[in-house]
């Protein structure tokens, strides 16, 4: 098993990114609980981030992807 090097983070608009584990999560972002290699994190984001629109651009009745 490879060692985790990144974590998946998202902001208040539910936009995803990955962040190195050895750095503090930037202000305005929070960890979503997934950690892995860069490739694993990108694969997780690809399957999890199903609505690319920021929350503020989604219709009010649009379900949250979480």
Number of domains in the chain: 1
In a domain, 17, yes or no: yes
In a domain, 18, yes or no: yes
Average pLDDT in the 36-64 region? 87
Q: Cα–Cα distance between 30 and 7 in angstroms, integer?
A: 10
| Domain containing residue 40: CATH number | 3.90.820.10
In a domain, 66, yes or no: no
In a domain, 43, yes or no: yes
**Chain segment 3-20, per-residue pLDDT in tens:** 999 999 999 999 999 999
By the 8 A CB rule, do 8 and 18 touch? yes
Q: Which domain holds residue 12?
A: 6-56
In a domain, 51, yes or no: yes
**25 has a pLDDT exceeding 90:** yes
**Which residue did the predictor score with more confidence, 28 or 50?**
28
Which of 24-28, 35-39, 61-65 is predicted least confidently? 61-65
pLDDT given at position 54: 84
């Amino acid at each position: 098993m490879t060692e985790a090097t990144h974590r998946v983070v998202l902001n208040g608009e539910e936009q995803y990114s990955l962040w190195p584990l050895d750095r503090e999560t930037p202000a305005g972002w929070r960890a979503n609980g997934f950690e892995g290699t860069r490739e694993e994190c990108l694969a997780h984001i690809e399957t999890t981030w199903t609505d690319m629109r920021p929350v503020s651009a989604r219709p009010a009745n649009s379900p949250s992807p979480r």
